[in-house]
Amino acid sequence: MQLRKKKVGLGRAIGWGITDSMGGGSGTIMGTYLLFFLTTYAGLPALQAASIFGISRLVDMATNIIVGSLTDNFYKTKLGQKYGRRRFFLLIGSPLMLIFGLMWLPGLPFLFYLAIYMMFDMLDSIVMIPYVTLPSEMTDDYDERTLMSTTRMFFSGLTGTVATTIAGVLLKVFGEDNSIAYTIMGMGFAVYFMIVVFITYKATWERPYTPEMIAEINNPNREKLSIKYFVSLIKQELVHYFTTLKVRAFRQHLSIYLLALTAQDIFSQLFVYFVVFDLLKTASFASALLAVGIIGVPFTPVWGWLFIKIGPKNLYTISFSLVIALLAAFTGLYYFKVTGHLLVTLAFIISAMYQLFKGILYFVPWNVFPFIPDVDQIMTRQRREGHFAGMMNFSRKATGSVAALVVGFCLTQIHFQSGATTQTSGVQLGLANLILFGVGGVTLLAWLIATKFNLNKKNHHKLVAEIARLEAGGSKETVDTETRKIVESLTGIPYEKVWPEKV
């Protein structure tokens, strides 16, 4: 099935972007509450609870490799030709979203939580890897892709904020010691996730098949998609996945993305502990602090405008510098023993500012991502969106698992006591130091790499124009000096080596 290319307007952007209510929203909900839920209501020791994240994500890395390869090749199947090589996975993933609700049932064995989390983690990959390729499938236009990514991050941020608001309200209604608040929240969002994934399936389309793809579909002698085929393919794809790292812009992008989001993983998993045991407030107060993140949602279009006007590098500088400063302000509330109404007032102000500028760290990487396959295309003459999406998810799961294990290990090392209503002064100091020096230090590393990142609107336009010129039969010998420098800066290889001859 050759899908028709259309213009991406706001309605289509919303239809695509709404699924990150699941992608980003589920991550926010689990990152903020699940470790606290498991140590408080399931009675699991901190390191054992954290190992659920680590074990599951290590296993799920294989899913990322398989799905990335599968979605790039699924057009060869009848199902792919009928439902789309990317969109088919959204269609089958939609009803399975109900698994999310099962993670929030209290008092069950460790193996139950491990199995459910593992299943949802794999489901997340099955849906999100094809999902993030769709902007590159639907349009080549920089501004249209930015509109789509902006809309996506709007829904991601809104869902995270709504979730923390709902959690706070439910904790107030049912009580701080009642797990039903988390169970209701989990079940409700599971149904919502099922709906939004189906909406995206209906609202999107894919890039028309190339002549090479059509020829392969019509080739009666081509190898059929089978288990044997995919075993062989996976072996090849493991090599191909790591060839994505040959793209300089992707190496930089991936490093920034992984460091920035790993820092936020650590912050999210520690935040409720910090509020409850360092600031001596309740879990519902922690939810209220996170809920003020709603202030950042209306700014999402502003980040999109700045992304176009000043570029990713400068937008990163704004975010990283202010996030580090606000981490210092947060922990300063504990170090200087601020209490009473002043604590409440300052905590809300700091949290509002932190949530506002933290949002950029999630916004920029996924706005940058749709342009990375264009850099790869001039190096390989291939469209490998699935490979890059798979590699990002693969790497993200790997670092996410490490972050979870590190948090569990650190909580154990500072002698955190699961299920206790109070902690020692040593534990309190350890929590504050982990946030300031752990989260802040990793964020600083990401900032240093971002200062060298040169993929922006102007350079992307030059890149796409050069690809079009070469596709039309233009000679590499006639390239202008500025374009040569831009291509070499983004690819990391001499211009003479780009656009290789077809074999």
Note the pLDDT tens digit of each residue in 97-156: 999 989 888 888 899 999 999 999 889 888 988 888 888 788 878 788 888 888 887 888
Residue recorded with tokens 């390989």: 380
Share of the chain above pLDDT 70, in %: 95
Q: What string of DSSP letters covers 34-66?
A: IHHHHHHTS---HHHHHHHHHHHHHHHHHHHHH
Candidate ranges 204-218, 374-388, 441-455; pick with highest mean pLDDT? 441-455
Measured CA distances, 47 to 54, 240, 321 (Å): 10, 35, 32
pLDDT of 496 strictly over 50: yes
Distances (CA, A) of 458 to 120, 146, 305, 309: 39, 14, 14, 10
Q: How far apart are CA 338 and CA 348, in angstroms?
A: 13
Which domains, and CATH codes, for the chain?
Answer: 10-209+220-455 (1.20.1250.20), 461-497 (no CATH)
Tell me the C-alpha distance between 244 and 386, whole Å.
Answer: 11
CA 417 to chain centre: 31
Mean pLDDT of the chain: 85
pLDDT score of 293: 75
Of the candidate ranges 26-40, 205-219, 344-358, 459-473, the one whose mean pLDDT is the lowest:
205-219
**pLDDT band, residue 4 (cuts 50/70/90):** very low
Mean pLDDT of 273-284: 90
Place of tokens 């409720």: 272
pLDDT at 3: 36
Cα–Cα dist 356/353, whole Å? 5
Cα angle 361, 367, 369 (rounded to 5 degrees) comes to: 105
pTM over 0.75: no
**Residue type (1 letter), 331:** T
Average pLDDT over residues 21-43: 81
- How many other CB atoms are there within 10 angstroms of residue 401's CB atom? 24
pLDDT bucket at 435, cuts 50 / 70 / 90: very high
167-204: b (≥16 Cβ within 10 Å) or e: bbbbbeeeeeeebebbbbbbbebbebbbebbbbbbebb
How large is the average pLDDT for residues 243-249?
93
